[in-house]
A and B are shown apart, each in its own frame.
Chain A
Amino acid sequence: MSASGRVLREIRANRRPLRLLGASGQLGYGVPTPAFNAGLARKPDMIGCDMGSIDIGPTYLGKGEMATSPESTRRDLRKVLRGARSLDIPLIIGSAGSAGAAAHLNATLDIIRDIARTDGLSFRMAVIPADTDRAMLLEAVRAGRVTGLDDMPALTEQDVNDASNIVGQMGTGPFRKALEMDVDVIVAGRACDTGIFAALPTALGFPTGLSVHMAKIVECASLCCVPGGRDSILAILDDDGFVLESMNPDRRATPTSVAAHSLYEQSDPYTVHEPDGSLDLTNARYVAVDDRRARVSGAAWKDSIDPTIKLEGATKIGERAILLCGSADPRFIAQSKELLPKVAIVVRDLVCEDTTEDYTLHFRVYGVDGVRMNVPPNEAMPGEVFIMAECIAPTRERASEVVRTCKQFLLHYGYPGRLSTAGNIAFPFTPPEISVGPAYRFSIYHLLHVSDVDALFPVEVETL
Chain B
Amino acid sequence: MKLSDVAQVVRSKNAGPRRLTFDIMFGSDEDYRRVAQSPAINAEIIGGLYGVPAAEVTIFPYPVGRAIKIVLARKIMAGDPGDFDVYGAQQHAPLLGIEL
CB-based contact B15/A267 at 8 Å: yes
Q: A152-B18, A317-B81, A374-B50 are in contact. Are A264 and B13 (CB under 8 A)?
A: yes
A contact face: mostly helix, strand, loop, or mixed: loop
Residues 245-259 of chain A, each 1 if its beta carbon lies under 8 Å from chain B, else 0: 000000000001001
- Chain B interface category by residue count: 35 or more
CB-based contact B50/A373 at 8 Å: yes
* Docked CA distance A376–B48 (Å): 10
Among A152, A267, A376, A390, the residue within 8 A (CB) of B21 is A267
CB-based contact B16/A267 at 8 Å: yes
CB-based contact A260/B84 at 8 Å: no
* Docked CA distance A327–B13 (Å): 30
Count of chain A to chain B residue pairs whose CB atoms are closer than 8 Å in the complex: 118
* Docked CA distance A301–B88 (Å): 30
Q: Hey, which chain A residues are within 8 Å of B82, CB to CB?
A: 360, 362
CB-based contact B79/A150 at 8 Å: no
Q: Hey, which chain A residues are within 8 Å of B23, CB to CB?
A: 260, 263-264
Pick from A1-9, A10-18, A54-62, A208-216 the stretch touching chain B. A54-62
Number of residues of chain A lying within 8 A (CB) of chain B:
42
Among B17, B49, B67, B91, the residue within 8 A (CB) of A260 is B67
A282 closest partner in B (C-beta): B64
CB-based contact A371/B85 at 8 Å: yes
Q: A360-B81, A362-B81, A441-B80 are in contact. Are A263 and B67 (CB under 8 A)?
A: yes
CB-based contact A445/B94 at 8 Å: no
Residues in A lying within 8 Å of B, measured CB to CB: 54-59, 149-152, 256, 259-270, 284, 286, 317, 360, 362, 364, 370-374, 376, 390, 392, 439-442, 445
Residues in B lying within 8 Å of A, measured CB to CB: 13-21, 23, 25, 49-51, 58, 60, 62, 64-67, 69, 71, 73-75, 77-82, 84-87, 90-91, 93-94
